[in-house]
Chain A
Amino acid sequence: MSYPIHYRYTREHEWISVDDAIGTVGITDYAQGSLGDIVYVDLPRSGDAVTAGAVFGSVESVKAVSDLFSPVSGKVTAVNEELKNAPDKINEDPHGTWIIKVDLSNPAELDSLLDAGAYEAFIAEETGH
């Protein structure tokens, strides 16, 4: 699967797409592939504050529970409630399934994230290791 070029990526395998200072956050195809079938997503609440690099929730697969790290700081404006009953959406369409939307408090943080090319190089290095 290709990595959308208008997204930005973390080294913890989240993606963010920003539109009008609202960031939409999900996990990458690589992340869902390594986790395997996702059975539960632990979501924050709308209105919660998130911090760049800090944990905002977790995803649970049959294999493991993995923390979700926020790519940016800000306030959660929406959470994808659909994932409570259908966490497998993330496996089916990782780059089209969002987890939270964040009102960015410091858009400059986006500059420290990876673009699609850098992220693909990063995961190539991880899998090659």
Chain B
Amino acid sequence: MTTNDLPITQANQKVRPHPTQNEALLFEKSSPGKRAYKLPPLDVPAVDAKAMLGAAHRDTPGLLPEISEIEIIRHFTRLSTWNYAIDLGMYPLGSCTMKYNPRVNEFVSRIEGLAEAHPYRPESHAQGILEIIDLLQRCLLEITGMDAITLQPAAGAHGEFTGILLTRAWHESQGNPRGKILIPDSAHGTNPATAAICGYAVENIKSNSDGGIDLDALARQVDSETAALMLTNPSTLGVFESQIHKIADILHAKGALLYMDGANMNALVGKVRPGDFGVDVMHLNLHKTFSTPHGGGGPGSGPVACKAFLEPFLPTPVLVRKKGAKGRGAREAGGEGIESGALHWDYNRPHSVGRVRAFYGNTGMFIRALAYILANGPDGLRQTTEDAVLNANYIRSKLEDLYDLPYSTPSMHEAVFSDKRQLVHGVKTGDIAKRLIDYGFHPYTVSFPLIVHGALMIEPTESESLEELNLFIGAMRSIAREAEETPDLVKSAPHSTRVSRLDEVQAARQPVLRWRPAK
């Protein structure tokens, strides 16, 4: 608990310790005339801005904060001390796969020629980065067992959108775009949103008692209007859909496609390939499975891989190697323009769904993901998958005596509990999550998937050591005891943060989205 002996004023706030220190907005710190720069004397002829801009010229400057450089630096540095990050401790947000971002990724992506590569650079001068993109594409195809890929989508939901556009384009080429997409009730909310945005009606599929797809119900629901099933495998319960090949057969028999949401691909890499179990199109999250930064704006990257029959519809441009290519063409191509073996962006794709993003995607993430893949190698990637599954099952086995496990089906990379046993003391999943902050951990995912009432969704990833896992388990066991003995302590958590319970309801009902000057 914090003590506030001093009255809170602007004057004393800045000498209080950081966790309790308040921080004004830059706008509130502004005072007239302050500058963070000093320009040299004008060494070109002065112009009359008003005359040149005409009606576009404004006489009164915009209300922007006026502040010095060190104040700006301190402002953001102080704010950064309130953050929790994977570099500080475990971040067990289920479904989000908050992996450690290896430093080798960051090192490679900062190599000058890569960090400063410009998308308008002529192809003949960009063969190095194109080779990186090409090699990443080939690695991802090998990992997924698919035939073709685009790296353009900027994140997972954008990948879903692209994948369903491909699905729609293919159905249209068969004469009928069809009208509906099937989605299990355990799905990520982005799945139905994607289907709706792509013009499809959404039909829900109820999960069976194992948390999987009921094959008989599915067979009844799939008809000539079904464009696709969007399936996450392993599901959001962390359960592998072992009937996946039969699901694919049911869909294919009616001309429908199987879309796989690859959000949980980190449980499959090096073990099983979606392309081998009947998936037609899928997305990957480089910011989950392939260790590029997640959260804080990433940026994300959501490549879409598909089978050969969907390849004509991929977004433009598609990276192709000029004919006669053998081995690496980059160096030979030099500055002499595109030669045999060089990589080339193909825009002549008459069946393409078109561009889904400016330029080629979040290229910096491609470099990081490739660094991760190459640094691990095939055996390392397989080990990573095994460790992620082992870690999740270790947590499950150490907590299942205290927390209700609604599905006893074997877990893959994450474990989903419910707050059923704590609820009798009035303690809900959100309370346990907030108490976890006091123990130094980021909360797990709360109240998702929706099919589990009061869900606690925990995904440690392979990044965590046995020691960190034990600390986490200790915290969770301690909170379970507190929920019984001192439930109010849990219900009013967190107690160690600068602010405690924010008014989420008020924020959602009456959001204040911008600062306004005091009148």
Q: What B residues does A37 contact at CB under 8 A?
A: 504-505, 508
Alpha-carbon gap, A129 to B388, bound state (A): 31
Interface residue? B450 (CB, 8 A): yes
Would you call B447 and A39 a contact (CB within 8 A)? Answer: no
Looking at the complex, which one of A34, A64, A88 makes contact with B509 (CB distance below 8 Å)? Answer: A88
Q: What A residues does B450 contact at CB under 8 A?
A: 64
A66: nearest residue on chain B (CB-CB)? B450
| B-facing residues in A75-99 (Cβ within 8 Å) | 87-88
The residue among A34, A40, A60, A63 with the most chain B CB atoms within 10 A of its own CB is A63
Would you call A40 and B447 a contact (CB within 8 A)? Answer: no
Alpha-carbon gap, A37 to B508, bound state (A): 10
Alpha-carbon gap, A88 to B450, bound state (A): 22
What's the nearest-Cβ distance from chain A to residue B205, in Å? 15
Chain A window 51-78, contacts with chain B (Cβ cutoff 8 Å), 1 for yes, 0 for no: 0000000001011110000000000000
| A-facing residues in B487-519 (Cβ within 8 Å) | 504-505, 508-509
Would you call B509 and A87 a contact (CB within 8 A)? Answer: yes
What's the nearest-Cβ distance from chain B to residue A43, in Å? 16
Looking at the complex, which one of A34, A62, A64 makes contact with B505 (CB distance below 8 Å)? Answer: A62
Q: Chain B interface: which size bin?
A: under 10
Would you call B447 and A64 a contact (CB within 8 A)? Answer: yes
What's the nearest-Cβ distance from chain B to residue A105, in Å? 22
A63: nearest residue on chain B (CB-CB)? B447
A88: nearest residue on chain B (CB-CB)? B509
What's the nearest-Cβ distance from chain B to residue A36, in Å? 8
What's the nearest-Cβ distance from chain B to residue A101, in Å? 25
B448: nearest residue on chain A (CB-CB)? A64
| A-facing residues in B457-508 (Cβ within 8 Å) | 504-505, 508
Alpha-carbon gap, A53 to B189, bound state (A): 21
What's the nearest-Cβ distance from chain A to residue B196, in Å? 11
Alpha-carbon gap, A64 to B509, bound state (A): 14
What's the nearest-Cβ distance from chain B to residue A52, in Å? 17
Q: What A residues does B504 contact at CB under 8 A?
A: 37, 62
Alpha-carbon gap, A62 to B447, bound state (A): 11
A55: nearest residue on chain B (CB-CB)? B202
Q: What B residues does A34 contact at CB under 8 A?
A: 453
Alpha-carbon gap, A60 to B504, bound state (A): 13
Looking at the complex, which one of B189, B453, B508 makes contact with A40 (CB distance below 8 Å)? Answer: B508
Alpha-carbon gap, A102 to B474, bound state (A): 55
What's the nearest-Cβ distance from chain A to residue B415, in Å? 20
What's the nearest-Cβ distance from chain B to residue A123, in Å? 12
B447: nearest residue on chain A (CB-CB)? A63
Q: What B residues does A60 contact at CB under 8 A?
A: 508
Alpha-carbon gap, A56 to B509, bound state (A): 22
Alpha-carbon gap, A109 to B27, bound state (A): 59
What's the nearest-Cβ distance from chain A to residue B516, in Å? 21
Q: What A residues does B505 contact at CB under 8 A?
A: 37, 39, 62
Alpha-carbon gap, A34 to B453, bound state (A): 9
Chain B window 15-30, contacts with chain A (Cβ cutoff 8 Å), 1 for yes, 0 for no: 0000000000000000
Alpha-carbon gap, A105 to B476, bound state (A): 55
Q: What B residues does A87 contact at CB under 8 A?
A: 509
Q: What B residues does A65 contact at CB under 8 A?
A: 189
A39: nearest residue on chain B (CB-CB)? B508
The residue among A34, A37, A60, A87 with the most chain B CB atoms within 10 A of its own CB is A37
What's the nearest-Cβ distance from chain B to residue A82, in Å? 14
Alpha-carbon gap, A37 to B509, bound state (A): 10
B509: nearest residue on chain A (CB-CB)? A39
Alpha-carbon gap, A73 to B189, bound state (A): 28
What's the nearest-Cβ distance from chain B to residue A102, in Å? 22
What's the nearest-Cβ distance from chain A to residue B308, in Å? 37
A87: nearest residue on chain B (CB-CB)? B509
Q: What A residues does B189 contact at CB under 8 A?
A: 65
Alpha-carbon gap, A109 to B286, bound state (A): 50
Alpha-carbon gap, A87 to B504, bound state (A): 15
Alpha-carbon gap, A121 to B348, bound state (A): 63
Alpha-carbon gap, A126 to B350, bound state (A): 53
Alpha-carbon gap, A114 to B447, bound state (A): 28
What's the nearest-Cβ distance from chain B to residue A66, in Å? 9
Alpha-carbon gap, A39 to B509, bound state (A): 5
What's the nearest-Cβ distance from chain B to residue A129, in Å? 9
Chain A window 29-43, contacts with chain B (Cβ cutoff 8 Å), 1 for yes, 0 for no: 000001001011000
List 17 other contacts, CB 8 Å, given A34-B453, A88-B509.
A37-B504, A37-B505, A37-B508, A39-B505, A39-B508, A39-B509, A40-B508, A40-B509, A60-B508, A62-B504, A62-B505, A62-B508, A63-B447, A64-B447, A64-B450, A65-B189, A87-B509
A and B contact pairs by CB, cutoff 8 A, 15 listed: A34-B453, A37-B504, A37-B505, A37-B508, A39-B505, A39-B509, A40-B508, A40-B509, A62-B504, A62-B505, A63-B447, A64-B447, A64-B450, A65-B189, A88-B509
Which A-B residue pairs are the 5 nearest by beta carbons?
Answer: A39-B508, A37-B505, A62-B504, A39-B509, A63-B447
